[in-house]
Amino acid sequence: MLTISASAESNNVPIPPRADLEAAFHVLKKGGVPNIPTVVSALNRELAAAEPDLARAARLVSEDPAMAGAILGLVNSAAFGLRVPVESVSHAISLLGLARVANLVTAESLGRSMVDRHPGVAQIWESSVEEAKAAVAIVGLIGGLAPDEAYLFAMMHDVGYLVLAAQHPDVAKTWNLQQAAPVTVVARERREYGADHVTLGYLLAKHWKLSNRFALAIYHHHVASCAGFDDARLRTLIAVVKLANYLSTRHLRATELPEMLHYRLAAKRELMIGDEDWDRLQGEVL
């Protein structure tokens, strides 16, 4: 059941104002809120168990061939740095651990559940997939986050857009333009749709039982600067997804608009990416 979170701010990172939460809550209730997919709930139960049944967890994922294929494709990518090919979900769990594989399954399952309900949002979801791949490439170069953590956050950070696009088709039609104006888009959403995608994403993250850090990072991923936040890992999540957004947007648009330039500079500062690493990263992603 969807509720308005009353969680306190964490490490001086503010939560959404009550009025914004209530506005987003009504938007979500209007469109219907997707429940946590069965496979995600089952994996969470295994993770919470004193002795998780790894074989059962592998079977749960493998029952969906498309899901299993997507997970194997991810863990066999260069960013995961595995020295041997992963040939099965059970093999992935034995090498990476259940928690890391569960992150990847969560990302795939939650996004798919939204797209299945609202096929018109597929373009936005595909954009999130590209950003997630870029995020994995970024952490593969600089570290700071596990690839599965970067992938899950990049897939989830714009999930609120899927809600807006399902109710307002013009959101999907102007997606590329919105991506190129990441700083001002949130205020415009509040004016035009009555709620913004970052607060919607915060509520969905809470509903889906993602971590408080993830929920707060989703809410703040469009702020001009998060340098004042004490939570270094949260700052890294936001900086990685800003840079992934920049790289994937530049892949579609040759022109570097001012807001995207600010995104790039702020993220590079936070992640301490020098010119040599930046050139290498662009070569991998663009």
Domain ranges of the chain: 18-285
Share of the chain above pLDDT 70, in %: 91
| CATH annotation of 18-285 | 1.10.3210.10
Would you call 82 exposed, middle or buried from its count of C-beta atoms within 10 A (0-12, 13-18, 19+)? middle
Q: Indicate if the pLDDT at residue 8 is higher than 90.
A: no
CA Rg value for the chain: 18
Q: What pLDDT score does 282 carry?
A: 84
Question: Mutual orientation of helices 98-117 and 54-62 as an angle, nearest 10°?
Answer: 30
Q: Higher-confidence residue: 110 or 240?
A: 240
Mean pLDDT along residues 229-236: 93
pLDDT tens profile 15-56:
999 999 999 999 998 877 778 889 999 999 999 999 999 999
Q: Are 175 and 123 in contact (CB under 8 A)?
A: yes
Mean pLDDT along residues 143-164: 92
Rounded to whole angstroms, how far apart are CA atoms 171 and 152? 23
Among 20-24, 132-136, 173-177, which is the least confidently predicted range? 173-177
Q: In the chain, which ranges are continuous DSSP H helix?
A: 18-31, 38-48, 54-62, 65-75, 89-96, 98-117, 122-142, 147-156, 159-167, 169-173, 175-179, 185-193, 197-207, 212-220, 232-252, 258-271, 275-285
Mean pLDDT (the chain) is 87
- Give 92's pLDDT tier (boundaries 50, 70, 90): very high
Q: Indicate if the pLDDT at residue 200 is higher than 90.
A: yes
Q: What pLDDT score does 183 carry?
A: 72
Mean pLDDT along residues 131-152: 91
pLDDT tens profile 235-275:
999 999 999 988 887 766 656 677 788 888 889 999 999 98
Among 97-111, 131-145, 172-186, which is the least confidently predicted range? 172-186
Q: What pLDDT score does 201 carry?
A: 95
- Give 107's pLDDT tier (boundaries 50, 70, 90): very high
Q: What pLDDT score does 99 carry?
A: 95
Q: Indicate if the pLDDT at residue 150 is higher than 90.
A: yes
Q: Higher-confidence residue: 220 or 174?
A: 220
Q: What pLDDT score does 4 carry?
A: 59
Q: For tokens 């004016």, what's the residue?
A: 191
Q: Indicate if the pLDDT at residue 213 is higher than 60.
A: yes
